[in-house]
Structure 1
Amino acid sequence: MRLALLLSLACAAWASAAEKGARDFLKKPDAWYASAEAKQTGVIILSYQADSGGWPKNTDTVTKPYTGKRTSLQATFDNGATLDELRFLARMFNATKEEAYRQAFDKGLAHVLVAQYPHGGWPQYYPLSKQYHRHVTFNDNSMVRILEFVREVSRDARFAFVDAKQRAACQTAFDKGIACILKCQIVVDGKPTVWCAQHDAQTLLPTQARSYELASFSGSESVGITRLLMSIDKPTPEIKAAIAGAVQWFEQRKVTGIRIETVVDPKSPKGKDRVVVKDPKAPALWARFYDLKSGQPYFCDRDGIPKSALADIGYERRNGYSWYGAYARELLEQDYPKWKQANP
């Protein structure tokens, strides 16, 4: 009855909400979570929880309640889904002590833990898909975010309400996840380098996702993985070696002498185009993907054929995907030197 009443209140108030996801609320002070607005938002978030325990991606889970078929809700860890909803529910329970929030949190946490493979990796979706989503997914920092979450649950005071066995299970899941990361690191001529955006669910070898996301060295996702390893207290020699190998690879694979611009092009489909411009003074960039054999950047259309230059692929993928970025710049210039000083 209590939940139904809150749901009806949420239906009446949804139109005025400006936020689009649970993450937008996580910077609110603890006291806010006892407010009527928070309770309305909480019930809306609960309405989007799939029967498996997670939440869908690319979905506004905070503006108005879900009224569709429960079977249509597909839980995922992709694009930040599930984890921020769980953080929100934890804070709601701490503020209100309402069991609906704790029960939903417990269900969601169980979903996170059961989705982990025995080798420590996580897929993009659970229950498992027969497509590329079943692979160990670093793409868009999916597994890094999961590991950050289970570590929070295992030790942060906001999760003190969680059963002690579940908190211990989260620590075990974190440790297994780090072990999986170390196993996935691509080794070339005996030296650890970086990671692919996804690794095979069984062999842990680099593997393909979408047609233009080939098995490769990732210049983007590997940054998040390296930072996660650097955040570990008292890193083992193996972790230190993994970090050092990745940093060396980033140093060797930086792209200099160019910048990426979006220019006006009346002849293009949308009146603008993304181009590479020569600029000897431009700061270093990294490609999103590097070929596993040549170690050189590649760019790819949906036909799956890699090209050596951004201009060589079609307009749609050239402008609709992140192919270059300053991915490792702060890591090399700021984060790693500080970490190295603290971990000689």
Structure 2
Amino acid sequence: MSTFRSIFSAVALSFLIVQSGIAQPKNLNPDVRSAMLSATKFMVEKASTNGGYVAHYLPDFSRRWGELEGFKTQIWVQDPGTVSMGNIFLDAYNATGDEYYYQAAEKVASALIWGQRPEGGWNYMIDFAGDRSLKQWYNTIGKNAWGFEEYYYYYNNTTFDDSNTSGPANFLLRIYLQKMDLKFKPALDKAIQLIIDSQYPLGGWPQRYPLKNNHPKNGKDDYTSFYTFNDEVISGNIDFLIQCYATLGEERFLDPIRRGMNFYLITQQGNPQGGWGQQYNMDLQPTYARSYEPAALMPGFTYTHVLLLLKYYQLTGDSKFLARIPDAIKWLESSMLPQDKREGGTRTHATFIEIGTNKGLYAHRKGSGVSDGHYWHDYDDKNLLAHYGGKANINIQHLKDEYKRISSLPVEEAVKNSPLKVGTVEDGSLPQKQLISGSVNGPVPNEAAINTIIGSLDQDRWLVKHIQISRPYSVTADGKEMNTAKLSDENGKGIVDASEQQYISTREYEKNMSLLIKYLKR
């Protein structure tokens, strides 16, 4: 059936391409190359700070935002920001051969290396004005960003949250392999060693490292030392180490990779609740994190972990990764919401499931900021926390189909493309080639779409409106510090800027560049 669908999809795509005029397109390559270069020169020469980026800027650069508002001396590591910009530069270089893009990527690497922490990782942002400025940001914007509790304190250590360390490490690996330029190798080696050293013996990773417990809250331990699945902490580090093994070929990566994959097995809960939480304490019990993250099991993470176990089986051929997938699926079926709570069929599960009872736990909040705001959770599914999501939609049938498909494969077939299996590449291609070439793929945009992208350039910028921003840091006349989080209502639902204000957007740049690159590579 899957083969039939693939053939049908290919025929349908071919029909659409012919119908849209792509079969014999006008050669827009010169216009595409010109637009790409003009937009890139603007970003590199006007928007960047020492080679790094944030997500959005006002056109006069008087304000800028990463996940929160940043100082003018700061760049953001996480996507969309410095790392994602570096990767799109390398994608453009591989598509065009123009050295300007490689030089732009070099500047990104230099910015990341400047901001690499002594232990080898990265914080969420890099401040070129140094620690005094960064501490000032945490003491003003960070500590008043209600709901963004990961920014309340200046930990002065590495974070693995949101791939903030595996992301730049992977970019350094990629740019090193691009030309085998040894100037990137020391920083890359330092990042690799940190990820290896910070792994717990049982295979998981903490959210931050070196370990600290200097910011307890409400009588609870600081959650940043807990085993953390949330925001690709563990899976991101495993994926990076697999890339290292595939491209650098060192056997020392195999043990941390295997221990990381095994950690998914030892943290799956016993029946009848064979799912996972998103954090675990040192006793391997699901535990709390931020104020709106109770100790609970999570259907969303269980869904993701089942797909990861299927992937790990295809990497190793070891049936232990398949053994308890049926238990996870059975739990997902048993924990579905009653019909009257499924929001018209758009939701299947509560985001959090209480351990033991299988009841949904629902997070709420009230207030307007850090000084008067409060989070809590209960069994009431009304007025749910909007910035996190109180309910989820889990496609159990997809898990069943994938489990059936992959578990029925002969082992040799299942692992045939695994970079962890000993053997040579059949076509003789270098294992580094795939990482270098990037991941810009998918349907090629048609000529009309390309013309729209090129025509939307405004003074060499791609501008957007109606994004979610935050208020600047301010103090009222009575000394009250105002909320610096992104605009939202009392339940946390995001509020976009409804005015006609335009913003420079790295996300928009990356999206349009990706489409133009696809057109060039067609």
Q: If the TM-score is normalised by the length of the shorter chain, which range does it land in?
A: 0.7 to 0.9
CA offset digits 1:150-208 (Å, max 9, x no partner): 122122xxx32xxx5xx32321101112222211111035xx711111111x2112122
Aligned-partner Cα distance in 1 for 2:163–2:387: 20
Give the aligned residue type for 2:287. Answer: T
- Structure 2 residue aligned with 1:254, among 336, 346, 358? 336
Q: Which residue of 1 aligns with 2:184?
A: 101
CA contact (8 A) 1:55 1:81 kept: yes
CA contact (8 A) 1:86 1:108 kept: yes
Change (3 A) 1:127 1:14: farther
Aligned-partner Cα distance in 2 for 1:21–1:328: 34
Q: How does 1:188-207 map onto structure 2 within 5 Å? A: 188=271, 193-200=274-281, 202-207=282-287
Following superposition, the deviation at residue 225 of structure 1 comes to 1.9
Following superposition, the deviation at residue 112 of structure 1 comes to 0.5
Aligned-partner Cα distance in 2 for 1:248–1:33: 53
TM-score by length of 1: 0.75
- Structure 2 residue aligned with 1:87, among 170, 191, 195? 170
Residue 300 (1) aligns with residue 363 (2): yes
Aligned-partner Cα distance in 2 for 1:248–1:235: 23
Give the aligned residue type for 2:130. Answer: G
CA offset digits 1:67-105 (Å, max 9, x no partner): 322996531110221111111111211224333311111
Aligned-partner Cα distance in 1 for 2:209–2:46: 29
3-state DSSP class of the match of 1:310? coil
Q: Which residue of 2 aligns with 1:287?
A: 350
Following superposition, the deviation at residue 294 of structure 1 comes to 1.0
Q: How does 1:74-223 map onto structure 2 within 5 Å? A: 74-130=157-213, 131-155=222-246, 159-160=247-248, 167-188=250-271, 193-200=274-281, 202-223=282-303
Aligned-partner Cα distance in 1 for 2:388–2:205: 24
Give the aligned residue type for 2:230. Answer: N
Aligned-partner Cα distance in 2 for 1:33–1:93: 18
Q: Which residue of 2 aligns with 1:239?
A: 321
Q: Which residue of 2 aligns with 1:311?
A: 382
Change (3 A) 1:247 1:278: closer
CA offset digits 1:194-253 (Å, max 9, x no partner): 1111111x2112122123322211112222222211112354343212222112222322
Q: Which residue of 1 aligns with 2:142?
A: none
- Structure 2 residue aligned with 1:26, among 70, 77, 87? 87
Q: Which residue of 1 aligns with 2:387?
A: 320
Equivalent residues, number: 297
Change (3 A) 1:304 1:205: farther
Aligned-partner Cα distance in 2 for 1:208–1:343: 41
Does 1 or 2 have the higher relative contact order (CA < 8 Å, sep 6+)? 2
3-state DSSP class of the match of 1:174? helix
Aligned-partner Cα distance in 2 for 1:21–1:238: 39
Please give the root-mean-square deviation of Cα atoms over the aligned residues, in Å: 3.2
Following superposition, the deviation at residue 341 of structure 1 comes to 3.8
Change (3 A) 1:122 1:330: farther
Aligned-partner Cα distance in 2 for 1:76–1:241: 33
Runs of 4+ aligned residues of structure 1 deviating over 6 Å after TM superposition are none
Give the aligned residue type for 2:158. Answer: A
Change (3 A) 1:254 1:33: farther
Change (3 A) 1:216 1:278: closer
3-state DSSP class of the match of 1:319? coil
Following superposition, the deviation at residue 337 of structure 1 comes to 4.1
Q: Which residue of 1 aligns with 2:111?
A: 44
**Larger deviation, residues 116-125 vs 142-151:** 142-151
Give the aligned residue type for 1:180. Answer: F
Change (3 A) 1:227 1:39: same
CA contact (8 A) 2:342 2:348 kept: no
Change (3 A) 1:335 1:23: farther
Give the aligned residue type for 1:128. Answer: L
Q: Which residue of 2 aligns with 1:273?
A: none
Following superposition, the deviation at residue 333 of structure 1 comes to 6.4
Give the aligned residue type for 1:82. Answer: T
Aligned-partner Cα distance in 2 for 1:46–1:239: 37
CA contact (8 A) 1:256 1:284 kept: no
Q: Which residue of 1 aligns with 2:45?
A: 13
Aligned-partner Cα distance in 2 for 1:76–1:296: 32
Tell me the percent identity. Answer: 22
TM-score by length of 2: 0.51
Which ranges of structure 1 fall in alignment gaps of 5 or more residues? 1-8, 259-275
Following superposition, the deviation at residue 254 of structure 1 comes to 3.0
